[in-house]
Amino acid sequence: MPIRAERLALYPPDWPEISARVRAFADQKCEFCGIRNGAWGYRDDAGKFHECSRDGFGKDYGRPPFWFGVHRIIAIVLTTAHLDHDESNCDYANLKALCQRCHLRYDAKHHARNAAETRRKKMRTLDMLEGK
């Protein structure tokens, strides 16, 4: 996942190398679901990933994502997750190589808490502006 510009200063200068080592240590596979980095395929209604051969797709369709029949063909991208959600903590015990789906699922509660706090702050600001 791309690093937001306002969070970039939290990462060490050698973050690209650290992230690459984490993914290499995981053998370029998601440490939660085992899916291979760079795999092409689709997820069924249950969320199970089905890998497709690139041979039939590359010439006709280019790079994913694209639709093939009823299936949206995607390319798996391995990311490096901070298990404690602290971008400055780059201890290898705190880092895992995860596919984007697993990373988003792992971070879902954290994102929900942040979104709720943002909404609370916005409401307090609106209340102050309205004089309540």
pLDDT tens-digit map of 44-100: 888 889 888 766 665 566 677 888 788 888 999 999 999 999 999 999 999 999 999
- Give 36-51 pLDDT, tens digit per residue: 999 998 888 888 898 8
**Omega before 65 within 30 of 0, i.e. cis:** yes
3-state secondary structure at position 114: helix
pTM of the model: 0.78
The proportion of the chain whose per-residue pLDDT surpasses 70, expressed as a percent, equals 87
b/e sequence 29-66, b meaning 16+ C-beta within 10 Å: bbbbeebbbebbbbeeeeeebeebebeebeeeeeebee
* Residues 47, 86, 115: CA angle, nearest 5 degrees: 60
95 Cβ contact list (under 8 Å, min separation 6): 18, 19, 22, 80, 81, 82, 83
The confidence score (pLDDT) of residue 52 equals: 83
